[in-house]
């Protein structure tokens, strides 16, 4: 896949926005296994690092960003400006916590400044 520049700012040094394509997003939803949730629950009761959950959130964010890039590319963009993340957690039943992350921004065509 051609790489898409993704930035959290609205302007890119040395480039100008020659065309605004519009909003783009990518969403990812992940969960930990029952065993992972059980071990995480034990760690929460006794205190300690939640590395399993941190890894899950990181992977979810990476997948959302990859989906954002794919969406922008499918529309012909070469960049996304003003990118932000939104996240949440919800109970999918049976004690299964789901982590959801959406990456969103504005797809644009950047050209070098003259």
Structural domain boundaries of the chain? 5-112
The model's pLDDT over 7-29, given as tens digits with 9 standing for 90+, comes to 999 999 999 999 999 999 999 98
Return the number of other C-beta atoms located less than 10 Å from residue 14's C-beta: 7
CA distance 101 to 65: 9
- Could you tell me if 8 and 82 are in contact, meaning their C-beta atoms sit under 8 angstroms apart? yes
CA distance 39 to 63: 24
- Could you tell me if 78 and 84 are in contact, meaning their C-beta atoms sit under 8 angstroms apart? no
CA distance 73 to 80: 10
- For residue 70, pLDDT over 90 is answered with yes
The model's pLDDT over 44-55, given as tens digits with 9 standing for 90+, comes to 556 566 676 778
Instruction: Name the token pair of 44.
Output: 């929460």
Query: Edge to edge, what strands does the sheet with 97-112 contain?
Result: 5-6, 79-91, 97-112, 15-31
- For residue 1, pLDDT over 90 is answered with no
pLDDT band at 114 (very low <50, low <70, confident <90, very high): confident
Q: Does domain 5-112 have CATH number 3.30.110.70?
A: yes
pTM recorded for the entire structure: 0.79
């Amino acid at each position: 896949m051609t790489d898409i520049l993704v930035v959290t700012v609205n302007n890119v040094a040395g480039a100008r926005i020659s065309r605004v394509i519009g909003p783009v997003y990518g969403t990812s939803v992940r969960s930990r296994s029952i065993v992972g949730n059980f071990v995480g629950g034990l760690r929460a009761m006794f205190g300690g690092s939640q590395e399993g959950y941190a890894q899950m959130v990181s992977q979810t964010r990476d997948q959302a960003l990859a989906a954002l890039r794919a969406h922008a590319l499918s529309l012909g963009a070469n960049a996304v400006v003003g990118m932000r993340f939104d996240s949440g957690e919800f109970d999918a039943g049976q004690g299964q916590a789901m982590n959801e992350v959406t990456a969103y921004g504005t797809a644009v065509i950047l050209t070098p400044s003259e």
